[in-house]
Amino acid sequence: MARCGRCGRCGRCGRGALLAVAAWTAGWLLAAVLLLRAHPGVLSERCTDEKSRRILAALCQDYRGGWLVGDLCQDLCEKGTLRYQRCLYYERGKKVLQAEWHGQPVVLKSTREAFASFPPLGLLGDGSQGGPAEAELLLVVAGEVRHALGLELPNDSLGLLWPGQRGADWQQQVASAWALLQQEEFVYLSLLQGLSRHVPPVLGSCGHFYAVEHLAAGSSQHRALFPLEQKQARARALAISRIALSFLDMVGHFDRDFSHRLHLCDVKPENFAIRRDLTVLAIDVDMAFFEPKMREILEQNCTGDEDCNFFDCFSKCDLRANKCGAERANSNLQVICDKIFRYWFVSSPRDSAVPPWRQFQLQEAVRECSRTAAPGVFWKLRHLLQATLRELQQADKPPRSSLEHAW
């Protein structure tokens, strides 16, 4: 009998090799599916005004035909106070459009083009027979939230996701709410509404489209990653320090302020935006997961640590069990330090507005932050950024007179 080239013994490694191949194949299939989810531009289609106007015209036709409802439908389809402006992007079926609502810019979003393309909630009918049907509906809603977010939520916390009062258009309310409920980002933003200043609120909806505020999104094309009004070096350094501190506030908020930690698995400038007061918001949470869902995603078959990398969320491979650990090995802070802060404080040219010795301290802190998830790094970086902000603000103040010095 031929000797095994791997271990030198006959027939002992065959089963292990088959398991390794199966795990490798499954890992690559999972990676391919998740790649399309995290980087849907691979399958993006051309974004045109003509098609976008047709999509909204079809939405209004369904509204007038009695198929759907929403608190923005009248403004969009009858009053003209919600007006289409331009197409922002199409990605893997998702349509993102810019509009103007009562003079303010907003963004309209839906993961699908047509209302009819969402699977209907047919098995429960229109829920017009009283209490039992409504209770059954809430069970289905809770199940959908559990599937999407991995969270068990009590019925009284589902009010933002489901129509609360029956009326003549109850069936249309149910159909519209069900189409929205099948969009994970809408579920996230709705459940976090009023609980976080680092995610944009849902302003309203019409059928399967929902609206959020239009914000100044990040981009690697911007000199400071975000479009800043400040042009002078000192003013720009002040703005970057404030934005960086807001990022840290967001990290701490997502780590501590919910019943489960919220993990960000696709960190890039385009997925964040700033308000005029320089508060950072996560505007694309398609790849954000609460702890229970994160553990479910990470716990996959593996043959090495590289098989346990879920985009920006990493785990470790247990080679004895060929299974990725369910606990994330890195942190939101590490990834933000590596993909955002590194550009500001390590890779980009040094800004003369910040003293060289302070720049060096920030560079070392960001490098350390990129390498380790130790909690002390958070506070060290926060302290340095606060000190930098104070120094820049102090330098902006006019010098005191000799009389003031004397006093």
Q: What pLDDT sits at residue 26?
A: 52
Pairwise CA distance, residues 193 & 200, whole Å: 8
Helices 131-149 & 184-191, crossing angle to 10 degrees?
A: 100
- DSSP class per residue in 246-297: HHHHHHHHHHHSSSS-EEE----GGGEEE-TT--EEE---TTEEEHHHHHHH
| Contacts of residue 163, Cβ cutoff 8 Å, sequence gap at least 6 | 170, 173, 174, 177
Q: What pLDDT sits at residue 136?
A: 80
Cβ atoms of residues 190 and 160 within 8 Å:
yes
* Cα distances (Å, whole numbers) of residue 123 to 117, 139, 240, 286: 17, 13, 53, 28
Q: What pLDDT sits at residue 42?
A: 47
Q: What pLDDT sits at residue 1?
A: 43
* Cα distances (Å, whole numbers) of residue 11 to 2, 8, 21, 23, 138: 9, 9, 16, 20, 55
Q: Which amino acid is at 250?
A: M
Q: What pLDDT sits at residue 124?
A: 46
Pairwise CA distance, residues 193 & 100, whole Å: 22
Pairwise CA distance, residues 47 & 95, whole Å: 9
Q: What pLDDT sits at residue 3?
A: 44
Pairwise CA distance, residues 274 & 270, whole Å: 11
Cβ atoms of residues 290 and 153 within 8 Å:
no
Q: Does an H or E element contain 88, and which?
A: strand 82-91
pTM for this entry: 0.84
The CB-side HSE value for 141 (13 A sphere, CA atoms) comes to 28
Cβ atoms of residues 298 and 279 within 8 Å:
no
Pairwise CA distance, residues 225 & 347, whole Å: 12
In Å, the largest CA–CA distance within the chain is 100
At 164, list the tokens.
């609360």
Pairwise CA distance, residues 233 & 230, whole Å: 8
Walk along the chain (407 residues) in steps of 10 and give the mean pLDDT of each run.
46 48 51 51 78 98 97 98 97 95 97 96 54 71 88 77 78 93 95 94 97 96 91 92 98 96 97 97 95 96 97 97 97 98 84 87 97 92 97 79 47
Q: What pLDDT sits at residue 8?
A: 47
- DSSP class per residue in 176-222: HHHHHHT-HHHHHHHHTTTT-TTSPPEEEEETTEEEEE--EE--TTS
